[in-house]
Amino acid sequence: MSDHFATNLKLACSHYRSISEVCRQLTINRAQFNKYLSGQSRPTAYNLKRIGDFFGVEDYELSQPPEQFARLIGARIASEQPGQTSDPISELFKPLHAQAGNLSRYCGYYFEYSNCMSVPGSILVSLVHLREERGSFLFERQERQERSSATDLHAEVRCRYLGAAFQLQDRVFLIDYESLTLNEMSQTILIPSFKSRITRLNGLKTGVSSGDRRTPACTRVVWEFLGEEINRINAYRQVRLYRPDDPRIDDDVRERLSVGPLSNGLFEIE
């Protein structure tokens, strides 16, 4: 890595309010980051990739001559922030980023078990991927349901939700939208795990049925940790609707989902 790295890193940081803000969003120790800025230390390949992703540049671009890097980062910042101001929604959520906890230990893949809002009495298994990107925590949830219809006895409905996650106090808040149809949003609140090894997380999810009435509803959910890297094809094959008595749904999940005022675990909001 060239000697230009420290100079370019200082320039990139100057586009933010403070070095502390950059370190907080990158979740890198401030003392260690100061060594990068002073040229006393060079980041590992892993941290270099995180720094590049955060500032929206490639690893090698951080080592370009300062004049060349200044033009590059200036153009990137200007394109991302027209008029040097953020959009109102980004500004609205800025305080949350400052107060939110670090969800790094929760990153990875999960099966989400929930009482299906569209087909009451069924258990829906979804595939969730929670990841860190530029100091923020984003997730994707894949759903797949087979339903009978007048024209197709095995019609398949696929949904892909994209969202953001925040840990505030002792709860994990996740808000998302359906990215294929752009016609619904949902919110999930999970209770964090205080064990050294994450296995299953409990919580509640609110949203609407995908049926014609779009009925608002709330259901208990269980997230089962699968790992940081998985065989996604094999995992996705298990994404579907299940009968409550299906042997592939174990008793622990069934019990966690069944606790509630309604026998099917679904709270309808009229």
pLDDT at 17: 78
> Within a domain: residue 165?
yes
Pairwise CA distance, residues 148 & 155, whole Å: 6
> Within a domain: residue 92?
no
Other CB atoms within 10 A of residue 196 CB: 6
pLDDT at 151: 52
> Within a domain: residue 259?
yes
Specify whether 74 is located in the same domain as 143.
no
pLDDT at 211: 64
CATH number of the domain encompassing residue 149: 2.40.128
- In the chain, the number of structural domains is 2
pTM of the model: 0.65
Give kind and range of the element (H or E) at residue 74. helix 66-80
Specify whether 139 is located in the same domain as 261.
yes
204, 159, 149, 156: which is closest to 183 by C-alpha?
159
Pairwise CA distance, residues 238 & 252, whole Å: 18
Specify whether 68 is located in the same domain as 139.
no
pLDDT at 115: 93
Specify whether 198 is located in the same domain as 243.
yes
C-alpha Rg value of the chain to the nearest Å: 22
Pairwise CA distance, residues 174 & 95, whole Å: 16
Pairwise CA distance, residues 190 & 13, whole Å: 34
pLDDT at 240: 94
Specify whether 248 is located in the same domain as 135.
yes
Specify whether 74 is located in the same domain as 120.
no
* Location of structure tokens 């078990």: 113
Residue 90 makes CB contacts below 8 A (sequence gap 6+) with none
Give kind and range of the element (H or E) at residue 257. helix 251-258
Residue 208 makes CB contacts below 8 A (sequence gap 6+) with 117, 184, 186, 214, 215, 216, 217
pLDDT at 70: 83
pLDDT at 82: 47
Other CB atoms within 10 A of residue 7 CB: 17
Give pLDDT tens digits along the chain (270 positions). Answer: 457 899 999 988 887 878 888 898 888 999 999 999 988 999 998 899 889 888 888 888 888 888 888 877 765 555 554 444 557 887 888 888 878 888 999 999 999 999 998 888 899 999 999 998 877 899 999 998 876 555 555 567 889 999 999 999 889 999 999 988 888 999 999 998 888 888 999 999 999 876 667 789 899 999 999 999 999 999 999 999 999 899 999 999 999 998 654 434 454 444
CATH number of the domain encompassing residue 62: 1.10.260
- Asked which of 21, 55, 85 is the last residue of a domain, the reply is 85
Specify whether 19 is located in the same domain as 116.
no
Pairwise CA distance, residues 83 & 100, whole Å: 28
Specify whether 136 is located in the same domain as 204.
yes
> Within a domain: residue 110?
yes
> Within a domain: residue 228?
yes
3-state secondary structure of 146: strand
pLDDT at 242: 95
3-state secondary structure of 255: helix
Specify whether 18 is located in the same domain as 148.
no
> Within a domain: residue 94?
no
Pairwise CA distance, residues 94 & 92, whole Å: 6
Specify whether 52 is located in the same domain as 145.
no
**What is the DSSP-derived secondary structure letter of residue 191?**
P
pLDDT at 66: 86
> Within a domain: residue 96?
no
* Tokens encoding 167: 């840990």
Residues of the domain holding 111: 104-268
pLDDT at 182: 86
Phi, psi of 261 (to 5 degrees): -75, -20
Pairwise CA distance, residues 137 & 175, whole Å: 11
- Asked which of 23, 56, 85 is the last residue of a domain, the reply is 85
> Considering Cα of 213, then 215, then 220, then 226, what sign does the dihedral take?
positive
> Within a domain: residue 95?
no
149, 141, 211: which is closest to 176 by C-alpha?
141
Specify whether 146 is located in the same domain as 190.
yes
pLDDT at 76: 56
Specify whether 65 is located in the same domain as 183.
no
